[in-house]
Amino acid sequence: MDDIHIEATPDTVHWGYLGADIPPVAHIDSGARVTISTVSGLPEVIADSPYPIPPALASVHKNVKKRLVPGHICTGPIAVQGARRGDVLQVDIEDVTLDSDWAYTGIRPLKGALPDDFDERQMTYLEIDRVKNIARTPWGMDVPLRPFFGVLCTAPPSSWGELSTVPPRRNGGNIDNRELVAGSTLYLPVYVDGALFSAGDGHGAQGDGEICTAAVEMGMRGTFKLTVRKDMSLEWPLAETDTHIITMAFDPDLDDCVVIVVRRMIDLLEEHCGLSRADAYTLLSYAGDLRVTQVVNGNKGIHLMLNKDFFHGKTLRA
């Protein structure tokens, strides 16, 4: 199992869309590692940037003709040997590294948590200090960085056709969950042979909610260990950190998301801890933390976090 490296180039990215028919840019064995770079920035970002445009991003803009805008520039997809529909892809996020000296955040009318409050577009550019691990805002405040990838996904079912990367769905996608930092694990449903894993939308930092529609958007580099799990089944993405199990759901209605994540956590407590559904439901009122993942991507997100102490130290990881 040789580890591979994939740079973001016009031949290794797909811009703004997901689909089961996108040809894989690489094939790896289950359990192998892949290190990829990602780039971010729509045309208006690079047109007004006071900073030099990274050559990789400039090349993507010049040479990638098929693009669905707005949408994310994703690196991949990567086919994992042995993955079949109904399996689960375990994505161990082993490393996330800042890959740019600047970042940006945009607001625009009719978008974000306050779609009617802002009549003008504004692009904010931030200087990245990799040594101090901060982003410097134009108004003089420093933002601590905690990098993660906003988009992590398998390919959607072929019956769904070609989709925008903007709304997250059952196959993952634009999850924007700030807990998915290095050291965490994401579990994704597999809908097509090979799983077809893609990543993009590097975030230097983001608060829960991603309130104005964007985070500290920037180029990122990540190392992922991709493992096929035939002993699991999932309807929605699931995550694990060293301290928590995290259920997730996405829907235009946050109330519907809450129902899904609570039911799924009850399932896990019933399966792994032997609790009755009533006892599990009660426990979640004592110790479960419901959080708003994001409210700006069409399908909004809720995630429910429960400390692994309540799972008696068990892990879902292979």
pLDDT tens-place string over residues 123-155: 999 999 999 999 999 999 999 999 999 999 999
Closest C-alpha among 171, 165, 194, 184 to residue 225: 184
* Confidence at residue 313, expressed as pLDDT on a 0 to 100 scale: 84
As a whole number of angstroms, the distance between CA 261 and CA 268 comes to 11
Closest C-alpha among 169, 237, 178, 182 to residue 210: 178
Instruction: Look at residue 89 and tell me whether its pLDDT is greater than 80.
Output: yes
On the CB side of 94, CA atoms within 13 Å amount to: 13
What does the mean pLDDT of the chain come to? 97
* Domain 4-98+146-229 fold: Jelly Rolls (2.60.120)
pLDDT tens-place string over residues 42-74: 999 999 999 999 999 999 999 999 999 999 999
The boundaries of every CATH 3.10.28.20 domain in the chain are: 238-311
Q: b/e for 129-151, b at 16 or more Cβ within 10 A?
A: eeeeebbbeeeeeebebbbbbbb
What is the rounded average pLDDT of the residues 99-126?
96
* Domain 238-311 fold: Endonuclease I-creI (3.10.28)
Instruction: Look at residue 2 and tell me whether its pLDDT is greater than 90.
Output: no
The boundaries of every CATH 2.60.120.580 domain in the chain are: 4-98+146-229
